[in-house]
Amino acid sequence: MNLELTILGCHSATPRVNSHPTAQYLEINNRHFLIDCGEGTQRQMRKYKVGFSKINHIFISHLHGDHFFGLIGLISTYGILNRERELHIYGPKGIKELTLLQLKLSQSHAKYPIIFHELTSKKSELIFEDKMVSVSTIPLSHRVYTNGFLFKEKEKARKLHIENIQQYPEIETCDYHHIKAGKDITLTNGEVIKNKELTLAPAQPKSYAFCSDTVYKEDIIPIIKNVDLLYHETTFLSDNESLAKKTKHATAKQAAQIALKANVKQLVIGHYSSRYKDIQLFKKEAQEIFSQVILADAGKKISI
């Protein structure tokens, strides 16, 4: 398993007994990320037993309450638990001021370092990268400055093709490191054994695109092209397309159109308006255009 997404909340606007605002926990290539942090997120994290203490990076799409009102509670809890490791928070300009003011006035100063990465660009940009994963923004169009996020595995090293290697007795275990690094092997007789003969191609890197609140926006398609998993908000059905346009949200049909045009492998839809009592209607509408549709639901785990 290279990628697992846990839905912690997937409804719009206010929390209800059985509906929780947006939050997702992503494990990708041994990295652990929190995406958005609506009210009650830490409770959902405990309920669904995700790696609470493993999170070092939190990504906030925009400063509407149903996407970040749980952040200050989570930060405070980390303080109570005597966290020492750095916590990196990525979000729109203003998130630092908002967070620090709440900590100051509640006298809940965190004793661990909080590093804010405030975003202002309206173009896609790389905001996090290590040897395992990269994260880039997906500029969206909502009533306030909003980004989605594209998470991509780094390409792994080629695997040793042991059967082929064993055909050359001169190749010793100490040579394996060089082979994994992509080097050819030269035998004592001068023969060069190409690396591709001694290795197997690694699995294709996995990718996940999170598209938070936004209108239908075709210019995100080149950014999310061919991703393994796409989450796209679907606040409304097509019967309320005019309301979606007015409030700068998307319909299930529009999300499916984006998925189809971007050639993604699977589409996850969520951020349902509470006016709809049956969320199966969202799946039905989306599948008229794109077949591989998954309904977001609190506690659902999606693995690739």
Residues labelled as active-site residues: 66
Side chain identity at residue 292, one-letter code: Q
Element at 271 (helix H, strand E): none
φ/ψ bin of 231: left (φ > 0), alpha (ψ from -120 to 50), beta (otherwise): beta
Interatomic CA distance for residues 119 and 96, integer angstroms? 11
With CA atoms as reference, report the closest residue to 161 among 152, 151, 171: 171
**CA torsion, points 120, 123, 124, 125, in degrees to nearest 10?**
-50
CA geometry: angle at 88 spanning 35 and 51, to 5°?
A: 55
Dihedral sign (CA 295, 297, 303, 304)? positive
> Are β-strands 23-28 and 31-37 bridged in parallel, bridged antiparallel, or unpaired?
antiparallel
Beta carbons within 8 Å of 66's beta carbon, 6+ residues apart? 12, 13, 14, 15, 21, 22, 38, 39
What is the distance between the alpha carbons of residues 117 and 127, in angstroms, rounded to a whole number? 8
Query: Token pair of 53, please?
Result: 């203490």
What token pair was written down for 11? 């409804």
